């Protein structure tokens, strides 16, 4: 395994990271199966595991599985998504952060978290409030590095500016979606991350299942989620996959190897997170660790999906309030006329 430095933290991480959402028992995995998958990944050299307090009992399962192996793992988790009906049990306020971190530490059975990340932007909380609370956690030794997820380009710059202006710790990492189908972050997010020395943990490198080749145009599929999420049946995305499948075949690669090798080839990407549910899924991905895509193949991918563009949107992708709340982009009716 060729390890990479996580931003400017000095922490070395594997190019593949293990996403832990699928280890929650609500996703169908018995805890003992999840533990075996975690141990197999660690044995293969993967040393980064990423979970979240919002992933049902994933933190508990990961914490139990890491007993006796914790020191060899870069353990990342996230906070900020709603943890109940209480409006104060979410977001990036100091009140919630100091509570959320103690709960995660207890569930993970550890005395520190290597990377603690804001799961979603919190427009109701000043970023200075969030960074101040996280700075105190760093000073207390409860976390080793801090990061964010789903940030816009402007919010990344704002957080860096506030940290410098106020003498606070700055975000060390960003966690955006990235795959052959979703390349929007190449336009601003990745260049900004490189400029500020921010490590990136990209999620969805397999297009949430679409880049496995198991979903084809006008064909039945055994993917259980195909009827539940829109992005798996988006005609535009499926059409692109139909063009990628013969490209992978010509290169002698499984679609999954093509997709993963593409994700980690960008110089702004530190780690691509894989979310596996079975040992077979993990072993299939591990067999492609040494795959390198040549410039000619990358050029042909660029011709199918131009750099910096997205083919549709993932259902799980964060949408800022400016897009989801009509009232933020519409003047009151009486003020809409020019005269």
Which residues are catalytically annotated?
Answer: 55
Q: Which two tokens stand for residue 9?
A: 């933290």
Residue 319 sits at the vertex; the CA angle it makes with 98 and 79, to the nearest 5 degrees, is 15
Residues contacting 272, CB < 8 A, separation 6+: 15, 16, 17, 178, 201, 202, 205, 260, 263, 264
Alpha helices in the chain (DSSP H): 31-43, 58-65, 94-108, 127-140, 153-166, 189-196, 235-250, 255-263, 279-286, 295-304, 321-324
| Cα-based distances in Å from 33 to 23, 62, 110, 218, 277 | 8, 11, 21, 34, 9
The residue count of the chain comes to: 339
> What are the backbone angles phi and psi of residue 63, rounded to the nearest 5°?
-60, -45
Number of H helices, E strands in the chain: 11, 10
Contact 57, 26 (CB under 8 A): yes
Angle formed by the axes of helices 127-140 and 94-108, to 10°?
A: 40
Residue 224 sits at the vertex; the CA angle it makes with 220 and 229, to the nearest 5 degrees, is 95
> Which residues pair with residue 265 across a beta bridge?
none
């Amino acid at each position: 395994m060729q390890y990479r430095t996580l931003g400017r933290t000095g922490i070395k991480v594997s190019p593949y990271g293990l996403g832990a959402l699928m280890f929650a028992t609500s996703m169908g995995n018995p805890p003992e199966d999840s533990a075996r998958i975690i141990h197999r990944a660690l044995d293969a050299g993967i040393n980064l595991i990423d979970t979240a307090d919002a992933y049902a009992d994933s933190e508990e399962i990961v914490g139990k599985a890491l007993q006796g192996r914790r020191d060899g793992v870069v353990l990342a988790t996230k906070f900020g998504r709603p943890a109940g009906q209480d409006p104060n049990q979410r977001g990036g306020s100091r009140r919630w952060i100091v509570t959320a971190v103690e709960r995660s530490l207890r569930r993970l059975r550890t005395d520190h978290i290597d990377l603690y990340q804001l799961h979603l932007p919190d427009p109701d909380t000043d970023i200075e409030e969030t960074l101040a609370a996280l700075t105190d956690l760093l000073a207390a030794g409860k976390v080793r590095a801090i990061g964010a997820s789903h940030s816009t380009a402007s919010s990344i710059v704002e957080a860096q500016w506030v940290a410098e202006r106020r003498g606070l710790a700055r975000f060390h990492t960003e966690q955006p979606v990235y795959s052959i189908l979703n390349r929007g972050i190449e336009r601003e997010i990745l260049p900004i991350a490189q400029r500020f020395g921010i490590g990136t943990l990209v999620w969805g490198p397999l297009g949430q299942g679409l880049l496995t080749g198991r979903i084809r145009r006008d064909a039945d599929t055994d993917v259980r989620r195909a009827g539940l999420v829109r992005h798996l049946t988006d005609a535009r995305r499926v059409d692109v996959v139909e063009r990628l499948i013969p490209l992978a075949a010509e290169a002698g690669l499984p679609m999954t190897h093509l997709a993963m090798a593409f994700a980690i080839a960008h110089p702004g990407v530190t780690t691509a997170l894989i979310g596996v549910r079975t040992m077979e899924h993990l072993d299939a991905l591990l067999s492609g660790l040494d795959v390198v895509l040549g410039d000619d193949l990358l050029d042909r991918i660029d011709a199918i999906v131009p750099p910096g563009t997205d083919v549709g949107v993932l259902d799980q992708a964060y949408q800022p309030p400016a897009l989801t709340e009509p009232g933020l982009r519409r003047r009151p009716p009486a003020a809409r006329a020019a005269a």
